[in-house]
């Protein structure tokens, strides 16, 4: 798949309200293939009591297997009264309950999940991973002790009000390679917020250095500006820091739509 096609799939999936057809298309191109047998949908009494005030229904649309790892592909519908942002802990715990085989099935390694709210054009795309450890009880029995990565560290907030820039940077390389089937580690790496944050600050640092260097040239060349900097005790390091900080803040306001201009409008 060429880059433009891959980019368009991401935009169609992650810059719009949740669409099941687009979501499945994205997963098929990301994973290259997944088993669509034994799909199911649970609602009402099948939701555990602990989550009934947060989850209205959930659906398994497929299963992806690589080596000995199994990843279920899920859609979880959040109740109207439960905010998508505020209920992340309960959402994560719900998937943990599911992966531990609470339906009577075997333990699952991970899940790719679309968390969808009926009152929002945004939704959350998450990877929840289980790490099972076996320990011996005082009675000599073997039981499973589980640890799982917090969903908040492995998720993207996407939808009509969000940009797909981060999703593009993380998923484009996988989508473009038609022969590459991602492992669970590959998917974890794609979701790794620490890597995304590191990339951001590396680019921010480079931009800061370039800005500072250009300011040095301007101050050296322009006597009026040089005098202004000297009188007001301004240095190019602090000036560059404040300038980039203000631009970043303005972008935040713009992204929130607080400038009175609708998204996509001039």
Model pLDDT for residues 185-196, shown as the tens digit of each residue: 999 988 887 766
Of 117, 142, 163, which closes a domain? 163
Is pTM beyond 0.85? Reply is no
Q: What is the pLDDT of residue 197?
A: 72
How many domains are contained in the chain? 2
* pLDDT bracket for residue 21 (50, 70, 90): very high
Structure tokens at 183: 């492992």
Q: Is 180 within the bounds of a domain?
A: no
CA pair distance 176, 174, nearest whole angstrom? 6
What's the pLDDT band for 152 if we cut at 50, 70, 90? Answer: very low
Give the pLDDT confidence score for residue 19 in this predicted structure: 95
Same domain for 12 and 117? yes
What is the number of alpha carbons within 13 Å of residue 266 lying toward its C-beta?
0
The answer to whether the CB of 30 falls within 8 A of the CB of 66 is no
Give the per-residue pLDDT at 133. Answer: 64
One domain, residues 153 and 208: no
Provide the β-strand partners of residue 134.
Answer: 144
Structural domain for 27, as ranges:
3-163
pLDDT digits (tens, 9 = 90+) for 211-234: 999 999 999 999 999 999 999 999
């Amino acid at each position: 798949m060429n880059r433009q096609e891959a980019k368009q799939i991401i935009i169609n999936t992650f810059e719009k309200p949740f669409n099941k057809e687009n979501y499945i298309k994205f997963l098929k191109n990301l994973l290259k293939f997944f088993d669509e047998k034994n799909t199911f949908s649970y609602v009402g009494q099948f939701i555990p009591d602990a989550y009934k005030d947060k989850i209205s229904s959930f659906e398994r649309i497929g299963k992806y297997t690589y080596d000995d790892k199994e990843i279920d592909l899920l859609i979880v519908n959040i109740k109207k009264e439960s905010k998508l942002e505020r209920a992340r802990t309960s959402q994560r715990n719900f998937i943990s309950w599911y992966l531990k085989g609470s339906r009577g099935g075997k333990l699952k390694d991970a899940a790719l999940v679309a968390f969808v709210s009926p009152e929002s054009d945004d939704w959350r795309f998450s990877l929840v991973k289980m790490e099972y450890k076996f320990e011996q009880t005082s009675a000599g029995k073997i039981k499973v002790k589980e640890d799982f990565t917090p969903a908040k560290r492995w998720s993207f907030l996407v939808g009509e009000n969000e940009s797909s820039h981060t999703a593009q940077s993380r998923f484009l390389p996988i989508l473009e390679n038609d022969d590459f089937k991602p492992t669970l580690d590959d998917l974890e790496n794609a979701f790794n917020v620490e890597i995304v944050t590191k990339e951001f600050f590396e680019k921010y640092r480079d931009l800061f250095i370039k800005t500072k260097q250009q300011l040095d040239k301007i101050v050296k060349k322009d006597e009026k500006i040089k005098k202004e900097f000297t009188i007001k005790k301004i240095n190019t390091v602090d000036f560059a820091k404040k300038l980039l900080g203000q631009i970043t803040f303005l972008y935040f306001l713009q992204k929130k739509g607080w400038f009175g201009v609708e998204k996509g409008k001039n």
